[in-house]
Every structure is written in structure tokens, then in C-alpha cells.
Amino acid sequence: MDGNKLVRSPHTAFVLASDYVAGSEDSFYVANLLTSELAILQGPSAVIWEILEEPTSTHALISEITEIYGVTREVVSASVLAFLDSMENQGLIQRVEDSQPSQSL
């Protein structure tokens, strides 16, 4: 990749389903506040959403997924990259510079 990291877009709102529906599995309802587009993230996609709370490189994200699910990079790389492209195209995640300068007041 190009040295950028991925992070949740500031133009999103989300809720954890289990906060509202007793006995529901962990899934997120995510909305792009600019387009009103909605997504339901479950399973590995919900895990990726949680990881992207902080800026994360694609390489680090795939490494974390392989560790969580006990699979190899070859098994998950293509599907994770496709999912990230889809999320970015929907405006739910965005790229940020790897090393952002600190802002002074």
C-alpha cells in the first residue's frame, strides 16, 4: 500500500446491535451521514470495524484478522481488501496520512 492508514470516516454513525436487541450477535449498524447509506456489519466485518477505530495500515489489519481467526494471509487478504474497497467507496472509512503532524493551538 502507499503508506496511508485506514480509519472510520468522521461522517458515520453506528450502534452495536446487542445494545438494543437482547441475544443478538455482535453486529454494527453503520450509517454514512452524508449519503444516508446504511450497512450492517457482522462477523469479520464487525471485527474490522472495531479495529478501524484507530488509524490502521492494511498490513496490520490483515495481520490482526489472521491472528483472531487463526488463518493465513493468503486465505483472507483478497476478501479483506475487497471489503475495505467497498467500505471506502461507501464513504464509511477513509485513508489518512501515516504520520500526521501534530497540531498546535
pLDDT at 24 over 80: no
Residue 1 binned pLDDT confidence (cut-offs 50, 70, 90): very low
| Confidence at residue 26, expressed as pLDDT on a 0 to 100 scale | 79
Strand ranges, E, within 4-92: 5-8, 12-16, 27-32, 38-42
CB atoms within 10 A of CB 74: 8
**Grid cell locating 46:** 464487525
Mean predicted lDDT score pLDDT of the chain = 87
The pLDDT assigned to 22 comes to: 60
Q: How confident is the model at residue 2 (pLDDT cuts 50, 70, 90)?
A: low
